[in-house]
Amino acid sequence: MSNSNVLDYLNDPSPRTLGRSPLEWLDRLHKPTVVRVAGRDRSRTRAMATLLHGNEPSGLFALHRWLLEQQTPEVNMLFLLGGVYPAKIPPALSLRQLPEGRDLNRCFKEPFEGEEGAIAEAMLAELRKENLECLLDVHNTSGTGPAFAVTITNDGAHQALTSLFTDRLIMTDLRLGALMEYSEQEVPTVTIECGGSQDDLAHQLAYDGLVRYTSRPDVLSLETADWDVAVLRNPIRVELAPEATIEYRLEPTGQADLTFPPDIEHRNFGIVSPDEPLGWIGEKGLSVLTAIGHNRTENMERILRVKNGQIYPAQAIKAFMITTNPIIAKSDCLFYAVKATGEPIF
């Protein structure tokens, strides 16, 4: 299958083709779309992917605003809009992925199976056509909370890219088939999590970062960074078993395997001490949870413990990517955690 059967292409789009709003533009998109904008320096190219998840709009909003302004970037820009199909299903921008479909950001590895696999393979082919300087993948967090970045490589170039948007960087050795793993092609690649999908500050952060990314001659040097970046290494990924149930309530009903309070998102990037309960566990206990480290080993006893039906941290932790969306909690993960000091949990 050729890429043209999978992707649509826009070259230096004019404002009249973009619609007056991001939703109007989304309505005009028919397939996952590649947008190219010529830069002042035609010998260099930077790339940005966004909307890999159809319910994470900040990157789309930022790109639409930037394109309408008809700014000329410092170098050529390649933009990839991946999750157009789920994003267009009414109500627009409400579905992470197609019903019964796969998470597109888990499909950037062989075998490229199904519709999402074909989209991921075509996007990778577009990236490989270019002599890329770097690649960003812009997302929203699955819950409310501060912005952060994620990478599989921690060096000056990745920290400099992070600093265009935020001062927090998560470095992980986990491999899930995410676009971020393109860093292994020796192209500096960073995922940007802008904050909550309904947060105007997240939309503004995405736009401000995009302006920096497209307008600066050098985005890979820490000498030009706006602030220092704090690096958290190899977080533990806590997952809920597929058959398990979760509720978000002030008190457990006794019907769910796991109950979190409705304001659990406020724990994002905060320190939780061993005497602070996170929620309630059902009769099945911690067997409904897994805690996977970068070496794929189980680390539950280092993360969580149970006392009188409540879940507590086994040690002081810093948690992030906590969500109150039960669908994402089950299909992706409950949260990530490192030690309160920011060091890995081994």
Q: What is the pLDDT of residues 228-270, one digit of tens each?
A: 899 999 999 999 999 999 999 999 999 999 999 999 999 999 9
Contact predicate 320/269, CB 8 Å: yes
Joined tokens for residue 213: 């990314």
| The pLDDT of residue 113 is above 80 | yes
Using CB atoms within 10 A of its CB, is residue 101 exposed (0-12), middle (13-18) or buried (19+)?
A: middle
Task: Kindly provide the residue ranges of all beta strands, DSSP E only, lying in the chain, ordered along the sequence.
Answer: 8-11, 33-37, 41-50, 75-81, 132-141, 148-151, 168-171, 189-196, 230-233, 236-240, 246-248, 258-260, 271-272, 279-281, 289-292, 304-307, 310-313, 317-320, 335-339
CA atoms of 198 and 118, how far apart (whole Å): 30
Identify the H or E element spanning 170.
strand 168-171
Q: pTM score > 0.85 for this model?
A: yes
Contact predicate 196/141, CB 8 Å: yes
Tell me the mean pLDDT in the region 202-223.
96
pLDDT at 203 (0 to 100): 98
Q: What is the pLDDT of residues 123-148, one digit of tens each?
A: 999 999 999 999 999 999 987 888 99
Round to the nearest angstrom and report the end-to-end CA distance of the chain. 45
- Phi/psi at 289 (5° precision): -120, 150
Q: Which residue has the tokens 């010998």?
A: 43
